[in-house]
Each structure stands twice: as structure tokens, then as C-alpha cells.
Amino acid sequence: MRLKDTPDGLAILYYMGLFDIFKKTETAKETETGKTVKSESVAGAGKQQVPQEYLGDLEKTQMLSVLLAVPMEHRDEEWVGRFLADLPLASLRCGTPQIIAGPDGFPYFQLFVPEPGEEYQSFYIERMISDFLLERGYGVVINPGEGQPDWVLSYGDLLNYHLNGSFFTAEDSQFSMSSNTEEVVAEGEEIMVGQPAETILPTETRKLLKDFFELNGIEGPKVLLMARTVGDELKQDLAFNITPDRFETETHYRNMMQTVTWYLPRHYSVIGLHDDNIENGFMPL
């Protein structure tokens, strides 16, 4: 299944991601079709005439209901682990509209844990990632409402699940986790450069980043993967040819680089480099 192509609407949302990050808007231009099921006991799930590949796991849906009954202030690390373990395969319903722009300006697909006995169109995140989320550039928000949503997944969180089987990679990352957004390669410093593989930056994500940069006035965006020795370890950084001299202010540049991280797993380190700092390393996104 594929979402209806509406590039103008997407352009507005991405533009907001950098320049209008505190404005919340909604759009219902794009829709995706799920499968109708009824939320009931797991014992009755076998009666539903729904292909299993669309149904999701109703047992995990029930587990989410139990977990979400826990007040926010009591949701500890163990709660988070259990919630994120059950979330990818749980059968969920979508909101109306399906796509909203969050306070950060980025597009999110609304999903809700259904009430007992509720009929709804079934969606589950693992399937959605491969079907359209990765290609279209959406995050996911769980149970949004007037107050705080129960969980928010950026596009980068979903990308990490696609690549690594979990929403977050917490330890033993090969990335440097550098806090610097601009790097200078010293003369004589030994580094290795190449293009990020599909297992780091898939084609769909490269296209989204290219569109994002171009929509925000960056012509000819390029990327490379750079490895260097940090202490006793070999660490890597994802580098773009995006530097402060291409922006009106330093703040504008840093906002751009920070916004880019929404598209990437949280353990990735992102830096800016001048094209002439690396010979034959950068390639167009």
C-alpha cells in the first residue's frame, strides 16, 4: 500500500520543521487504509476475518492497555522497556486526520490504543515502517490529545528500528556522539572517508534529507561517512557539506543541523565540513 503523492503538502511540513517549530497544525490530505477489526479478548481474535499480516498482535495491544493505565509519574525504565517491546507489533487504530504536524513542525502519523469492544482499522508500526513511513518521512505519535502524548517516535527512531530491530541504540555505538556540529580536519590527520552504506543511510532517507536541505535553501547537499581515532577507539561521524558560511547567522546554521537529527537514529553523530576539507569524499545526496 502507498500513500497518495502530495509533494506540496510535504514541502510545507518540512519547511515548518526549521522555521515554525512551535506552531501546531493538522493535515488530512494523505490517507492510508488499514484493516477493520474489533478490539476484544485475545480468545475471540481468531474469529476476525482479517489477514494476519495486517492484524497485528492483539495480545500486545492488551499489554499496552495495561501499561498505559500506569500514571506518567510511575513509568520507570522497566515500564519503558516493556512498552517499547510490545509497541511495534501491537494492533492500533489511526486518528483523524491520520497525519498531523507536531509542535516541532514535523509530520506524525497518529496511532491510538483502541478501547475494549471498539471497531477500528488495524495498523501496526513494524508493517507501517516498510509500507510507507520510511519512504514518506513520517514519525509516529501514540495517543496524542490535549495533554502529553504517551509516546513520540521521530523518523530517526523508526529508521533505527528498520535497521537494527529496536527504536533506540543506547550503547556500544560506532558513532562518536560528538557535540560539535562543525569540524576542522587538521592537516596530516589520518581519517578514512566513504559513502554511508544502506545499513546506515538508506536510499529513502537520503532522498528525504536531500529534499529537506533543498527546501531550506541549500543547493547541492552532499554526504560522507568519516572515521577517525578518538582516544583508543575508531569512531565515525555522518558529515554533510553544510557549514555556517552558507547561512545568515550561526544560530540559523545550528538550528538546521539540529533539525536534521530528527531524520536520523539518536546515536548518530552529525557534523558539517567544507567540501575542500575532504578530497574525493563527498557525494551528492
Residue 52 pLDDT exceeds 80: no
Mean pLDDT lowest for which of 10-14, 107-111, 189-193, 224-228?
10-14
* Percent of the chain scoring above 70 in pLDDT: 74
Domain positions in the chain are 7-164, 191-284
pLDDT at 190: 77
Read off the C-alpha cell for 196: 554511508
Residue 180 pLDDT exceeds 60: no
Tell me how far apart the terminal alpha carbons of the chain are, to the nearest angstrom: 26
Residue 134 and residue 159 in contact, taking contact as beta carbons nearer than 8 Å: yes
CA distance 40 to 116: 6
Positions of E strands within 138-190: 139-142, 151-153
Residue 64 and residue 90 in contact, taking contact as beta carbons nearer than 8 Å: yes
Q: What residue type is assigned to position 130 of the chain?
A: S
DSSP assignment, residue 10?
A: H
Exposure string for 111-137, b = 16+ CB within 10 A, e = fewer: bbbbeeeeebbbbbbbbbbebbbbbbb
Which of 45, 63, 64 lies closest to 55, judged by CA? 45
Which of 147, 141, 136 lies closest to 95, judged by CA? 141
Residue 141 and residue 110 in contact, taking contact as beta carbons nearer than 8 Å: yes
pLDDT in tens, 201-249: 999 999 999 999 999 889 999 999 998 877 777 889 999 999 888 888 9
pLDDT in tens, 117-164: 888 889 999 999 999 999 999 999 999 987 899 999 999 999 999 999
Residue 50 pLDDT exceeds 50: no
Residue 241 and residue 273 in contact, taking contact as beta carbons nearer than 8 Å: yes
DSSP assignment, residue 199?
A: T
Phi, psi torsion values for 39, nearest 5 degrees = -75, 115
Give domain 191-284's CATH number out of 3.40.50, 3.30.300, 3.30.1300, 1.20.120: 3.30.300
pLDDT at 79: 97
Mean pLDDT lowest for which of 48-57, 235-244, 246-255?
48-57
H runs (alpha helix) in the chain = 7-19, 52-55, 58-68, 77-86, 125-128, 134-136, 155-164, 203-215, 250-260
- Residue with more model confidence, 207 or 169: 207
Confidence of residue 43 (pLDDT cuts 50, 70, 90): very low
Residue 217 and residue 253 in contact, taking contact as beta carbons nearer than 8 Å: no
Residue 74 and residue 55 in contact, taking contact as beta carbons nearer than 8 Å: no
Phi-psi region of 4 (alpha: psi -120 to 50; beta: other; left: phi over 0): beta
CA triple 131-134-140, angle to 5 deg: 95
Mean pLDDT, the chain, integer: 80
**Helices 7-19 + 250-260 axis angle, to 10:** 130
CA distance 133 to 279: 35
DSSP assignment, residue 114?
A: P
